[in-house]
Amino acid sequence: MTLPQRVTLIDVCLRDGLQDESVFVPTQAKLQLLDALARAGVLEAEVTSFVHPKWIPPLADADALAARLPNLPPMRFWALVPNLRGYERSGNAPLFGITTVLSATDAHNQANLNCTSQESLRRLKPVIAAAKADGRSVRAAISVVFGCPFEGEVPLQRVVDLCEQLTAAGADELVLCDTIGVAHPRQVAEVIGQVRARLPEMPLTLHLHDARGFGLANMLAGLQEGITRFDTSLGGFGGCPYAPGAPGNLATERANTFLTAMGIATDIDQAAIEAAAVQAKSAVAAGEPIDTKA
């Protein structure tokens, strides 16, 4: 079995993990989680999203968090940026780069971003250009690549076209997201193969959810296709609003056990990442309830 020798896990707990929780984790606790991630050897983390605070109350402290981001080399920080206004807010924060997002289907893009995928692409182009002009790297994420809660199956041609358009717009890396956890390994291999056929040089990251428990099997399919970058989330945080109670993102600590068992280097210490996961669960349990009526 041919697998990569080294894999990078990008921990997205502070962004994707916390955004669906019904509590606000204080900025200080978030910074402590970042510190725990860094001490465990995690090399990259997505730390927040510069969306309007009212949209995603758990991430309402994006500005405060960005202003207090510590220097934890070699750890690199990413933040999700939805639009130019969000990009302006990212200001001088010590970000290695930004993550942009649009959906593979218009229905999901409408539900999430209130416009079509192509309109999102049009709006993201100046964001990508601004980040590039500032010397930042750009991860361009595509949601619901493997299945959409509204449209069901997603035509692969749409995905490949969006990958090509985002690459042309200047993205440095594409993030293929199984937003609702419906991907299966055969599909993972097929999607990666098709994207690679069109964009052989483009770095690809897999963002897997574990709603059906297929997360590690899908990771294996990705590894076999040569994928070396995976979004994972400490503690498995990041449920999908369409699958209440189901496991969320593929857990960083579980992915690390899996990779380590197969002799794949990650630089992440298993005991330390498991301790960090416990810390994340405590932080969420102690979070401030969000008044959803506000």
Q: Which residues are catalytic?
A: 240
87 binds a copy of itself (CB under 8 A): no
Which residues, 45 to 74, sit near a copy of itself by CB under 8 A?
none
258 binds a copy of itself (CB under 8 A): yes
Q: How far is CA 51 from CA 14, 43, 178, in A?
A: 14, 24, 21
DSSP summary character for residue 250? P
Q: Which residues pair with 79 in a beta bridge?
A: 48, 98
7 binds a copy of itself (CB under 8 A): no
Query: CA 174 to CA 84: how far, in whole Å?
Result: 20
Residue span binding a copy of itself (CB under 8 A) among the ranges 43-51, 128-136, 210-218, 283-291: 210-218
**Candidate list 67, 168, 262, 278; residue touching a copy of itself; CB under 8 A:** 262
**Candidate list 53, 152, 155, 213; residue touching a copy of itself; CB under 8 A:** 213
- Cβ distance 112 to 85 under 8 Å? no
Residue 125 or 212: the one with the smaller Cβ distance to a copy of itself is 212
Residues 6+ apart with CB under 8 A from 279: 32, 33, 36
Residue span binding a copy of itself (CB under 8 A) among the ranges 119-127, 166-174, 179-187, 284-292: 179-187
230 binds a copy of itself (CB under 8 A): no
Say how many residues touch a copy of itself, by CB under 8 A.
22
Residue 32 or 270: the one with the smaller Cβ distance to a copy of itself is 270
> CA-CA-CA-CA torsion for 157, 102, 81, 113, nearest 10 degrees?
170
Query: CA 281 to CA 88: how far, in whole Å?
Result: 32
Query: CA 118 to CA 103: how far, in whole Å?
Result: 9
Q: Which residues bind a copy of itself (CB under 8 A)?
A: 1, 3, 184-187, 189-190, 212-214, 216-217, 219-221, 254, 257-258, 261-263
